Amino acid sequence: MAIRKLAELTDGLKPGCRLLGLDLGEKTIGIAMSDSTWMIATPMTTLKRGKFTKDAGILAELVEEHEVGGLVIGLPINMDGSEGPKCQSARQFAENLMGRMDMDIAFWDERLSTVAVTRTMIEADLSRAKQKEAVDKMAAAYILQGALDFMRNQNTNP
């Protein structure tokens, strides 16, 4: 398929499919899933990164098991709006993933997503251990929810 603008992501998707949100870190990948109406993002799991082929295989299993039609990947844009090495890494991950999966991918600006999630967990009085366990999948849900809200406001939701 293709890398699309977020506003165009749902154009070719089957009604009722889900979207998968990814927060790509150096050591982990936070994973979140939308509901079938593209209204709510739910944190799923955190994948400890290994070799790309293994990670892609696990993601492919999730895609098939949950009838995922598209991916939203967090793009770590610098605070000044420029793209650095982490953005290049996220874009390369998406390109490599497209070679293994037949689905559209869009990026969503993830600036401060981990900070926002961490603040929320601190306010909820979660222990540091629980924060560490949950931060990546919660950041993925934060990224995906932002993308879902944007798409709904752009009237791209079926």
The CATH number linked to 102 is: 3.30.420.140
Handedness of CA 83, 86, 88, 93 (dihedral sign): negative
Residue 158 lies in a domain: no
Domain count, the chain: 1
The reported pTM is 0.87
pLDDT digits (tens, 9 = 90+) for 91-107: 999 999 998 998 999 99
Residue 142 lies in a domain: yes
CA atoms of 76 and 79, how far apart (whole Å): 9
pLDDT band at 36 (very low <50, low <70, confident <90, very high): very high
Domain region containing 70: 3-153
pLDDT band at 155 (very low <50, low <70, confident <90, very high): low
Residue 90 lies in a domain: yes
Whole-number pLDDT of residue 1: 65
Those residues whose C-beta lies under 8 Å from the C-beta of residue 77, and which sit 6 or more positions away, are 83, 87, 109, 110, 111
Residue 44 lies in a domain: yes
Those residues whose C-beta lies under 8 Å from the C-beta of residue 95, and which sit 6 or more positions away, are 3
CA atoms of 63 and 49, how far apart (whole Å): 17
Q: Is the pLDDT of residue 156 over 50?
A: no
Those residues whose C-beta lies under 8 Å from the C-beta of residue 156, and which sit 6 or more positions away, are 7, 8, 9, 10, 11
CA atoms of 115 and 88, how far apart (whole Å): 21
Choose between 141 and 113: higher pLDDT. 141
Handedness of CA 32, 62, 11, 87 (dihedral sign): positive
